[in-house]
Amino acid sequence: MTVENTTPRVALVTGGSGGIGRTVVERLASDGLAVAVHYAGNKAAAEELAAKINAAGGRAVTVGGDVADEGDMTAAFEAVEAAFGGVDVVVHAAGIMILSPVAELNLDDLDRMHRTNIRGAFVVAQQAARRLRSGGALINFSTSQTRLSSPGYAPYAASKAAVEAINLVLARELRGRDITVNAVAPGPVATALFFEGKDEATIERFTKMTPLERLGTPQDVAEVVSLLAGPGRWINGQTLFANGGAA
């Protein structure tokens, strides 16, 4: 007789207290995964989300820390393992976006963004590579701006292009462990981060960029993450452009 394994898979979502990361947490919890909601500064929002999931019958904890600090992330992964017994899925959604024409860019802003977006991606990927269980998945976040190349996005797109460069290399380094490594590259998504600093004409231009003639939603992106975290096992070393056909 085959005994069904009822132990839930475990996901850690960096940047899970807000924005797209929060929606990803909610989606993975609805998929039946135990979730760890990571936060950098907004502890209250992370705890509110975890409490909501637990009240609905799911399993959730919170972990904090700077994604670019190896000590913080070691402690975060250890906390998840202590709470749930291991880690199966890591979704690295934490990041910052600073927009500026190249000629006007404050290089201190460039350094700050690259520390979070590039060093942070390496720190989290390093922990994931060491700790993910067989059948696991690392899902990074890139951006469709690595292809759309809109003015003002060069510093941000450069930091995310580095994230894309990790995927296939790390997937090959993890040969034999049944672990996938992919990235999701959203197009324009209706979040507070997207709307910040944009006038109506700019928002309309981004809206018309896709054949669907709408902005994406966090749920659109979370759906792709759900695929990569679960049934999409034959997708590996790839960047999936979740952008509604933006060109």
H-type helices in the chain, by residue range?
Answer: 19-30, 43-55, 70-84, 107-114, 120-131, 145-148, 154-173, 192-195, 200-207, 218-229
Instruction: State mean pLDDT over 21-45.
Output: 97
In a domain, 203, yes or no: no
Q: Residue 7: which pLDDT band, with cuts at 50, 70 and 90?
A: low
180-200 confidence digits (pLDDT tens): 999 999 999 988 878 887 889
In a domain, 3, yes or no: no
pLDDT for the residue 164: 95
Instruction: State mean pLDDT over 35-49.
Output: 96
User: What is the phi-psi region of residue 15: left when phi exceeds 0, alpha when psi lies from -120 to 50, beta otherwise?
Assistant: left
In a domain, 199, yes or no: no
pLDDT for the residue 198: 85
Cα→Cα distances 185→45, 51, 86, 154, 161, Å: 25, 29, 27, 15, 10
Residues 124, 106: Cα–Cα separation, whole Å: 26
Strand order in the sheet with 239-242: 60-64, 34-39, 10-14, 89-92, 137-141, 180-186, 239-242
pLDDT higher than 80, residue 8: yes
Q: Which domain holds residue 85?
A: 10-188+218-238
pLDDT higher than 50, residue 100: yes
pLDDT higher than 80, residue 1: no
105-151 confidence digits (pLDDT tens): 999 999 999 999 999 999 999 999 999 999 999 999 999 999 999 99
The token duo for 108 is: 């201190």
For residue 61, which amino acid is it?
A: V
The token duo for 87 is: 């880690």
Q: Residue 3: which pLDDT band, with cuts at 50, 70 and 90?
A: very low
Which segment of 10-24, 52-66, 189-203, 209-223 scores lowest on mean pLDDT? 189-203
**Helix axes 19-30 and 43-55, enclosed angle (nearest 10):** 20
In a domain, 202, yes or no: no
How would you classify the pairing of strands 239-242 and 180-186? parallel
In a domain, 158, yes or no: yes
In a domain, 60, yes or no: yes
In a domain, 4, yes or no: no
Residues 132, 203: Cα–Cα separation, whole Å: 39
Our answer to whether residue 153 is catalytic in this structure is: no
pLDDT higher than 80, residue 101: yes
CATH of the domain at 113: 3.40.50.720
In a domain, 195, yes or no: no
Classify 91 as helix, strand or coil: strand
Q: Residue 2: which pLDDT band, with cuts at 50, 70 and 90?
A: very low
Total domains in the chain come to 1
Mean pLDDT over the full length of the chain: 94
Cα→Cα distances 235→18, 87, 119, 129, 225, Å: 27, 20, 25, 17, 12
Contact at 8 Å (CB) between 216 and 197? no
Cα→Cα distances 221→68, 80, 81, Å: 24, 24, 26
Classify 144 as helix, strand or coil: coil
Which one from 77, 153, 156, 206 is the annotated catalytic residue? Answer: 156
